[in-house]
Amino acid sequence: MKIIVLAGGLSPEREVSLTSGSLIANALMENGHRVLLLDVYEGIAALPDDPESLFLAKGHYTHCVSETVPDLEALRLRTGNGDALIGANVLKLCAMADKVFIALHGSMGENGQLQATLDTHGISYTGSGYVGSLLAMDKEISKQLFRDVGVPTPAWVTLHTRENDRSKLDKIGLPCVVKPCDCGSSVGVSIVETEEELNAALDEAARWCERVIVEQKIVGRELTVGILHGKTLPAVEIIPREGFYDYKNKYQGTTEEICPAPIPKEIADEAARLTKIGFDVLHLREYARFDYLLDGEGQLWCLEANSLPGMTPTSLLPMAAAAAGISYRELCERIVCGGSVEAGEA
């Protein structure tokens, strides 16, 4: 197959995406496909006379996630692309491919905009459609849906950054967790213990989104459960060496992950059950990952769903797949081929 791996983008998670995209592209070439890794924001200004030559059968892409969130304003200035989310010739090249593997994180890649654009051009792609992507990315909507179908989620309120009245925060109190409504990779997330920290946390979250979630702080073990073509994968326990599972801890190797998570079978079964319910209510498809906290009473609390889980060297979905006997190459192949590949084929 000819496959384009779309990565990068004008998103605070572009570094994570480019790392995921590099590994995915390499795995797909090893599986015998012809692949082009393409930055959806930068695009390719001048195509060669034979654009087919951009699809490589052999090669090796590399990218590493830096410790800090990328400077998007510097990227705008360097490329001259401004706020245009899709770069030159991206859709033209995607139309040439048999499949587009969406390796984007955050922003247009996960909020449904890209999926809707590809749909209107008749371009086949991996992962959830625009509806599921939108529902999962918007934490306010997804938490409302979780609550409606009985998936426990921490109590919350939503603030608009233009609001001056913060009286609704009294419903949550301190300590709490503050996060942008539609970012991933823990970008803009703060754990707040004091009133002084709250103001700084609200300002930080507002940098990334005009709506901010202020959520009840749950103290407990961090777990995540992946799902692939309707089957849940073994739960992973996440243990940061310090602090919480923030952007740096996620991508700089400063976190211990244990898979399968050392939890009782009944809790693992309950996490799998809740994941399937959440997957269905958010209209997700193909694959996703759900994040939980397990409190001291044995109660699971669903924090969010990730419609495009990371595929970096430290990412959790590949780890869970490996524990289920699915190699990284096989995982990529199953995502591309819609689950028709059995373990060991790729």
What residues are labeled active site?
13, 185, 251, 289, 291, 304, 306, 310
Dist. CA 70–CA 186, nearest whole Å: 14
Dist. CA 32–CA 1, nearest whole Å: 8
Is the bond leading into 175 cis (omega within 30 degrees of zero)? yes
DSSP 145-189: HHHHTT-----EEEEETT----GGGGGT-SSEEEEETT--TTTT-
288's enclosing H/E stretch is strand 287-295
Where helices occur in the chain by DSSP H, the ranges are 14-30, 72-79, 90-96, 107-110, 113-120, 130-137, 139-148, 195-206, 247-251, 265-281, 316-323, 328-337
Instruction: For residue 129, give Cα distances in angstroms to 110, 113, 118, 193, 235.
Output: 10, 10, 10, 38, 25
Determine the angle formed by the axes of helices 130-137 and 113-120, rounding to 10 degrees.
170
**Contact in structure between 110 and 12 (CB atoms under 8 Å):** no
**Contact in structure between 219 and 295 (CB atoms under 8 Å):** yes
Task: Report how many helices (DSSP H) and strands (DSSP E) the chain contains, helices first.
Answer: 12, 13
The pair of three-digit structure tokens given for residue 30, joined into one six-digit string = 């090893």
Can you name the residues that pair with 38 across neighbouring β-strands? 6
Dist. CA 38–CA 123, nearest whole Å: 15
